[in-house]
Amino acid sequence: MRSYRFLWAVIYGLVLVSFTVYACLDTFVIQRVYEIPEQPVTRFTESVTSASESAAGTETDVESETAAVTGETSGAPETEPYVTDDSYDDGNIKITLTEYRYGDTTVYVADVLLSDPSYLKTALARSVYGRNVTEKTSVTASQNGAILAVNGDYYGARQKGYVIRNGILYRNTPVSGAEDLVIYRDGTFGVISESEVTAEELLEAGASDVLSFGPALIRDGVIAVSEDDEVGRAMASNPRTAVGVIDDLHYVFVVSDGRTDESAGLDLYELADFMSLLGVTTAYNLDGGGSSTMVFNGSVVNNPTTNGKKITERSVSDIVYIGYR
């Protein structure tokens, strides 16, 4: 009798271990390519107004809307680009890189001025929507001709949370209370709660991209996090990635180093405070830690690290970038 009990205990243990191993592989390793859901019909008229514009009472240019949704850009560089190690200017896109020291942390800021909102884009790793489909930020940036890029929200590590990229709805499953960044077709930013609006409604309201990570760092020019806020179980000081808007078609991309003796990293409030000093009116926290990476003209600007012992890029699901395609 004891031998049978022992045998069943062994079998139960093997099944439990096998299930645990499979669950871990399915979550972090096994790649799954998903089908794109059927897209809701979005009607374009001469007076289409995005949700962010309603308060301001301004109208969106139809050509810019269409370009943002289809992935087409309005024109090419007006002049031969003027490029240095820390700047780019071609008449349509102007980027200036600056390295700051905030406390004991190194922070990299890309100040971006655009002539058209369609130059602000997102891209999926390997141009595929799926789970655990990843690539280094620098590789995805190169494949999409990005002049400037940062890592996105790492949507592929989660099964829920809205995913809209370049006007295409990939995932409409909400996370209760989640704060998303909405990039509208006119280039304006907004922050929404997934509990209060559907992904389909966001498309109808003019959303080009929806990033689901968070939280919002600044809203209407006011810091939106407290000194006690943090993402999940993350440590207080971390490498960070964030995007923000200062004015019409004027953006900042921010990445901080962290977890090293040279750069401790930032907590959310410090990141928000830093971006407030830049004059940002809306700022949003993207995936951080080992994912935090900034790429400019094909070179990695910062020092990405997961554990502080090795400087290397982590492969991620998606990027936010500036470019023509």
Residue 227 pLDDT = 79
- pLDDT, tens only, 121-141: 999 999 999 999 999 999 999
Domain boundaries, the chain: 1-30, 32-322
Residue with the bigger pLDDT between 297 and 49: it is 297
- pLDDT, tens only, 11-42: 655 555 444 444 444 444 566 666 666 666 55
Secondary structure of the chain in HEC code, one letter for each residue: CHHHHHHHHHHHHHHHHHHHHHHHHHHHCCCEECCCCCCCCCCCCCCCCCHHHHCCCCCCCHHHHHHHHHCCCCCCCCCCCEEECCEEECCCEEEEEEEEEECCEEEEEEEEEECCHHHEEEEEHHHCCEECCCEEHHHHHHHCCCCEEEECCCHHHCCCCCEEECCEEEECCCCCCCEEEEEECCCCEEEEECCCCCHHHHHHCCEEEEEECCCEEEECCEECCCCCCCCCCCCCCECEEEEEEEECCEEEEEEECCCCCCCCCECHHHHHHHHHHCCCCEEEECCCHHHCCEEECCEECCCCCCCCCCCCCCEECEEEEECCC
* pLDDT confidence tier of residue 281, bands split at 50, 70 and 90: very high
Average pLDDT, the chain: 85
Residue 63 has pLDDT above 50, yes or no: no
- pLDDT, tens only, 232-273: 545 589 999 999 999 999 999 999 999 999 999 999 999 999
Considering the entire predicted model, what is its pTM?
0.81
